[in-house]
Amino acid sequence: MPARAFAAFSNTRRPLWLLLFGLLACLAAELLYRGGALDPVDRRVQDFWFQWQGKRLEPRHVAIVAIDEETLAAYPDDPLLFWTDRLATAIGRLRAAGVGAVGLDMLLSMSPERWLAKLGGDLRNAARDYDRAFREQLNSGHLILAATRTGSGALAADYLLPSPDYLLALPGFDLSGHVGLADLADEGDGVVRRYRVAPIAAAERARLDGELPVLSFPALLAVRGAGLDAHATRWLLGGREVWREQPAMPIPYIGPPGSFPRLSLKHLLSADAGRDPVLAALRGKVVLIGATAAGLNDDHFTPYAARAFSGRGALMSGVEVHANILESLLAGERVQPLGEGPRMASLLLLAGIAAFAFAALPAWLGALAWALAAGLLAVFGYAAFRFGVLVPVAIYGAATLILLLCILGWRLTGEERERARVRQMFGRYVSAQVVEALLQPGNRPELGGKAQEITVLFTDIRSFTTISERLSAKEVVEMLNAYLTRACAVLLAEGGSIDKFIGDAIMVEFGAPLSLPDHAVRAARAAVALRGVAEDFSAWMRGRFPGRDLPAFSIGIGLHSGEAVVGNIGTPTRMEFTAIGDTVNLASRLERLTRVWGCAILASGATIKLAGGTVVCGRSDVATVAGREAPVRVFEVLRVDQTDKGRFENA
């Protein structure tokens, strides 16, 4: 499609094009979002939100008994396998302090009794009652054990369970009511961000004949801590409904590592632990016992571990990740992804606004606006996050970026070609400021022309024929190029549009193609400046062509103001932007009349009147010009004086 036709079509259908681009951008961004291509961006942005927020709230329902470095140092020679007697003591003291439920975040796949029995001899008899106290705690029903899995969970062999000695001690042999799956799943980048109430899909669990763990370790602990039935499918926790098969949910971390209250296992085992106010503060809470010592290798990447500029942040122990999930369930804390309806509605609204904004801005400003908008989206997303809503900002950024690229491509194929056409048409004949003004919406010259009030300036070189006879053709071209370069500079400086060169003559319009309210004053100033150029050029001619007996270099200038038709004139195959009408003809006649008057500049009364009294005139008379019946009032222009109101002087 030709550039002019495309431009006309684009201008009339511009809103439709922009809306179409907006819809296409939204569709492409939605496909990227649903396909998971934008997930890495959203994950990192949401990680930073957690970091910026810091500690969101104080935990009210959960505390941690930590197997920390201090505890390990107190028992350096005892493998953890033989700590069940100490764990039983700790659990007993927690129950005595009024703790609601206790979760042991350790996989006890081997019991000390079973391990010692393998050695035989006297050790078998010595180990017979080693775990009695621990089994009693299990049988009380207040202790929840941890299991894990190595495969999909569809086979019994996929599960790593506590030792059979402990499973047999469970009340009613209820494994699924007292053992939870402690697996922490990442999202492919090693960062733990989500959890499931039931980690194994119902379809996979259905393949198993026997009873195996169903709920996740923190979910089971939350249900049991709230005194609810672990075998139900729905529960009311923290004022919110939780169901077994609900999809993976974001973990609403309450804060960075170290946010939960901790009691060292060593202090819990000390003789005076019963008098410790920290232990008393655990009444009514659910307590997790787990490893926090770095040497036990139970550390995980969470949103707090990713840093943009300061390296890697602190890792979080597995027991604290479970504590975050447990606290969120008991407190009713949720971070909900933005619903599909609000997401799509806001996406369409943003795309509509962005389409018209990008279309109105230059390309570089559009790119800058997109970058600023991306930052504002992150800030808006963070504000929504503070209210518990995860906004997928990447889809908005992707949609607006795609939209920006579409509009830039549209400009390159259509509008930019039209702008290039305008620059090509006018760039050689008007000033750069006028060209840029023409490129603004609403200033484009109409195809076919329109009536417009302008001032036309005609000028040519006196005695040009004689000069041409006495110079070679090459010298004539050199002279014309040198003069026209100087002449065009002063004409363009006043906003004139150089219509055409007719041999040694120049036709110039002021007030076209861009309307200028002071076109008459500009034309008069340009004429005076052009007369000065001619006077200076006369000296150049004498220096360049000495002894050639050339006539003195001088010019004549005619000015007339009035209405003319300005636009593209010509045939479909060859057009040029010009002005036609009586105004043009009269300006040309006045330029010829300067020879008769023996002056450099003649202006019509219409031009002098429009100039508003700023033009200082010499002689004045009523003249009859060729081709025009009505006489014309003509003034000799001497100079333009902004402070002098219409004085007439004798030449």
What is the four-CA torsion angle of 366, 369, 374, 379, rounded to 10 degrees? -170
Task: Flag the least confident range among 314-323, 413-422, 576-585.
Answer: 413-422
Kindly write down the DSSP assignment for every residue of 271-320, as one continuous string. Answer: TTGGG-HHHHTTTT-EEEEEE--GGG--EEB-GGG--SSS-----EEHHH
**How many CB atoms are located within 10 Å of the residue 605 CB?**
15
User: Residues 22, 158: one domain?
Assistant: no
User: Residues 341, 327: one domain?
Assistant: no
CA–CA separation, 421 and 576 (whole Å): 12
Q: Where residue 149 falls among pLDDT bands split at 50, 70, 90?
A: confident
Number of domains, the chain: 3
pLDDT of residue 4: 45
437 belongs to a structural domain: no
User: Residues 415, 356: one domain?
Assistant: yes
Whether residue 431 has pLDDT greater than 60: no
pLDDT of residue 54: 86
pTM of the model: 0.65
438 belongs to a structural domain: no
298 belongs to a structural domain: yes
**pLDDT-above-90 percentage for the chain:** 51
CA–CA separation, 598 and 275 (whole Å): 120
Q: What are phi and psi of 579, to 5 degrees?
A: -125, 140
User: Residues 380, 518: one domain?
Assistant: no
User: Residues 8, 90: one domain?
Assistant: no
Which amino acid is it at 184? L
649 belongs to a structural domain: no
Closest-CA residue to 567 (of 558, 556, 576): 576
Average pLDDT for residues 617-634, to the nearest whole number?
89
User: Residues 347, 400: one domain?
Assistant: yes
Question: Which residues have a Cβ under 8 Å from the Cβ of 618 and sit 6 or more positions away?
Answer: 599, 635, 636, 637, 638, 648, 649, 650, 651
- Please indicate whether residue 633 or residue 307 has the higher confidence score (pLDDT): 633
243 belongs to a structural domain: yes
User: Residues 543, 632: one domain?
Assistant: yes
Rounded to the nearest 10 degrees, what angle do helices 473-493 and 519-544 cross at? 150
645 belongs to a structural domain: no
- Please indicate whether residue 111 or residue 506 has the higher confidence score (pLDDT): 506
pLDDT of residue 425: 54
Question: In the listed set 363, 396, 426, which residue is the last one of a domain according to the structure?
Answer: 426
Question: In the listed set 393, 426, 459, which residue is the last one of a domain according to the structure?
Answer: 426
User: Residues 179, 327: one domain?
Assistant: yes
User: Residues 94, 158: one domain?
Assistant: yes
Residue 159 CA, chain-centre distance (Å), reads 46
CA–CA separation, 467 and 476 (whole Å): 8
User: Residues 367, 454: one domain?
Assistant: no
> Please, are residues 422 and 444 in contact by the beta-carbon 8 Å criterion?
yes
User: Residues 31, 62: one domain?
Assistant: no
Question: In the listed set 303, 331, 359, which residue is the last one of a domain according to the structure?
Answer: 331
pLDDT of residue 15: 82
Cα–Cα distances (Å) from 207 to 155, 160, 524, in that order, read: 7, 17, 97
**How many CB atoms are located within 10 Å of the residue 242 CB?**
19
User: Residues 238, 320: one domain?
Assistant: yes
Nearest-5° angle of CA 342, CA 348, CA 350?
A: 95
Residue 189 CA, chain-centre distance (Å), reads 24
Query: Tens digit of pLDDT for each residue in 55-88?
Result: 888 999 999 999 999 999 998 888 888 888 899 9
434 belongs to a structural domain: no
Query: Tens digit of pLDDT for each residue in 287-301?
Result: 999 999 988 888 999
Whether residue 415 has pLDDT greater than 80: no
101 belongs to a structural domain: yes
CA–CA separation, 546 and 362 (whole Å): 53
Query: Tens digit of pLDDT for each residue in 525-566?
Result: 999 999 999 999 999 999 999 988 999 999 999 999 999 998
Whether residue 646 has pLDDT greater than 60: no
Whichever domain contains 538, its CATH number is: 3.30.70.1230
Determine the structural domain holding residue 595 and report its residue range. Answer: 445-640
Task: Flag the least confident range among 25-34, 142-151, 200-209.
Answer: 200-209
